[in-house]
Amino acid sequence: MIRRQISLAAGIMPEATPAQLIECAAAAGFDFGGMWVERETWTPATTRAIRQQARDARVELLDCEVAWIMPGAPDPWLTELVHIAAELGAANLLCVSSDPDMAATTAKFQTLVSAAAGTGVRVNLEFGIFTEVKTLPMARAILEAVEGDAKALLVDTLHWARSGGTAEDLKAIPREWLSYCQPCDAPAEGPDLTDFDAIIDDAINRRMPLGQGGLPLAAMVDALPAHLPMAIEERSAALRDAYPDLIERARACARTSGAWLDGRA
């Protein structure tokens, strides 16, 4: 069986600096790292410093987060994120949309995909009930309308399960749309879907290590290509509380994720 490559998703340590994200991915032995890019604090100097640090640490970036599409006029910052991801050597840029106008979301996503052409970056549209692109069928409709090889569709186990997705839905995704995925586990019972605060709490505080919750995690993994890299998206208040030290948190995540994956080999 092919060994699954794993990445340290940036959301596991929201308090980390960009430099700490690289340091933790390297120290914990992840195959890849993830990077969170903040508009307010990121500068060209940050790009240069993180690119050099990643090279020195031999950490390849699987993704950068997050290109957040909002209502209104297109935001130039999102296109800048494509260029930052390319300069950092990241393979993917994660994109979500809070624009309820699906035609506008499609047009804005197309702009990012076009900007990514030839850069080596793929723009991944993530669906989830916390966004306006709530389900896999909604995301598929957008991908079908967008042109360019740099488009991709991102599956997060939690969002897939909470939005009513099935393994058959995943098997039907065109393989060329898939660049990586975001697995995690969580309690089987989800939040009240009419309570937005509870939905957000579920996404950022209640995730669990792989195999320790009640999500149909194995079904997701089996339905996606065996070579697909995994960004372990274990956003968890329990993990943060148990491991305030960032390197120890990363090592704990790598240990539990690797144990579950090895158990399926």
pLDDT digits (tens, 9 = 90+) for 88-98: 999 999 999 99
CA distance 84 to 64: 9
* The model's pTM: 0.97
CA distance 265 to 223: 15
Q: How much is the pLDDT for 1? A: 55
Q: How much is the pLDDT for 265? A: 66
CA distance 204 to 206: 6
Reported as a single tens digit per residue, the pLDDT across 26-59 is 999 999 999 999 999 999 999 999 999 999 999 9
- Tokens 């393989």 correspond to 175
pLDDT exceeds cutoff 80 at 2: no
State what percent of residues in the chain have pLDDT above 70.
99
- Confidence band, pLDDT 50/70/90 cuts, at residue 177: very high
C-alpha torsion angle, residues 129, 133, 139, 142 (rounded to 10) = 180
Reported as a single tens digit per residue, the pLDDT across 206-217 is 999 999 999 999
- Beta partners for residue 35, in sequence order: 64
CA distance 119 to 21: 23
Average pLDDT of every residue of the chain: 97
Reported as a single tens digit per residue, the pLDDT across 178-203 is 999 999 999 999 999 999 999 999 99
pLDDT exceeds cutoff 90 at 19: yes
Give the phi and the psi of residue 58 in degrees, each rounded to 5: 55, 45
- Beta partners for residue 124, in sequence order: 94, 152
CA 169, chain centre distance (Å): 19
- Beta partners for residue 61, in sequence order: 33
152 exposure class (CB count in 10 Å sphere: 0-12, 13-18, 19+): buried
Mean pLDDT of 105-126: 98
DSSP-derived pairing of the beta strands 151-156 and 122-126: parallel
CA 20, chain centre distance (Å): 18
CA distance 209 to 255: 10
Radius of gyration of the chain (CA): 17
Contact predicate 30/252, CB 8 Å: no
Contact predicate 234/209, CB 8 Å: yes
Give the orientation angle of helix 18-27 with respect to helix 44-57, to 10 degrees.
Answer: 10
Q: Which domains does the chain have, with CATH numbers?
A: 6-263 (3.20.20.150)
- Confidence band, pLDDT 50/70/90 cuts, at residue 171: very high
CA distance 155 to 159: 8
